[in-house]
Chains A and B, each alone.
Chain A
């Protein structure tokens, strides 16, 4: 199975900060990587697919990038509504595998 190692597990940042979350894939997954945001008591929300493509309706302060086997989600200027848990997902090969999640809080 493909392992997705997500870091950090938690992150505290201030309003307006640039925030980056990373997932490292244990083997090549091409660009078959999505990012999800989940708020307490809610279903996950797709933010980024294909490693770099912004899902419709997602604010442009969110972006995705890839460097080798490292995939990153960046929030260019943190807003209060961005506090949530973020997960990456590889969907290149079954079983699809999620990262362990990053809890993003306001400092």
Chain B
């Protein structure tokens, strides 16, 4: 059974950093692109970043470029999202998901950016 389990969310002040993790199981992690998608409270879904299966290429939405870094450790079957210089508009539930069509999602981890 495919499982994606996010962790690392919480309350953080504007300008500070947070690192999210997503532990994957039930599939060969190194074979798949992975992505982060977020959802602000009561809002729609928003793609954040993707990474190739090897980790050699990464892709970001403009609003997080230069502030967020997606990475992966294939030996640990874990996806990461390092979030720096956080802003109030980054407040959202962050989901990790697999591949291009996103057939599997984690339960999400809530990030609240507030002073």
Q: Chain A interface (Cβ within 8 Å of chain B)?
A: 32, 34, 36, 38, 43-46, 49-50, 55, 87, 89, 91, 94-101
Tell whether, in the assembled complex, residue A55 and residue B47 are in contact, meaning their CB atoms are under 8 Å apart. Answer: no
Q: Which residues of A contact B100 (CB under 8 A)?
A: 32, 91
Tell whether, in the assembled complex, residue A89 and residue B102 are in contact, meaning their CB atoms are under 8 Å apart. Answer: yes
A59 to chain B, nearest CB (A): 16
Decide: A36 near B103, CB < 8 A? Known: A94-B59, A95-B62: no
Q: Chain B interface (Cβ within 8 Å of chain A)?
A: 35, 37, 44-47, 50, 59-62, 95, 100-103, 105-108
Q: Which residues of B contact A50 (CB under 8 A)?
A: 101
- Known pairs A34-B102, A43-B95, A46-B101; list 19 more (Cβ under 8 Å): A34-B101, A36-B102, A43-B105, A43-B106, A43-B107, A44-B45, A44-B95, A45-B105, A50-B101, A87-B44, A91-B100, A91-B101, A91-B102, A95-B47, A96-B47, A97-B47, A98-B44, A98-B46, A100-B44
- Counting chain A CB atoms within 10 Å of each CB, which of B35, B95, B102 scores highest? B102
Q: Which residues of B contact A46 (CB under 8 A)?
A: 101-103
Q: Which residues of A contact B102 (CB under 8 A)?
A: 34, 36, 44, 46, 89, 91
Tell whether, in the assembled complex, residue B50 and residue A96 are in contact, meaning their CB atoms are under 8 Å apart. Answer: yes
B77 to chain A, nearest CB (A): 19
Shortest Cβ distance from A49 into B: residue: B101
- Alpha-carbon separation in the docked complex, A49 to B47 (Å): 17
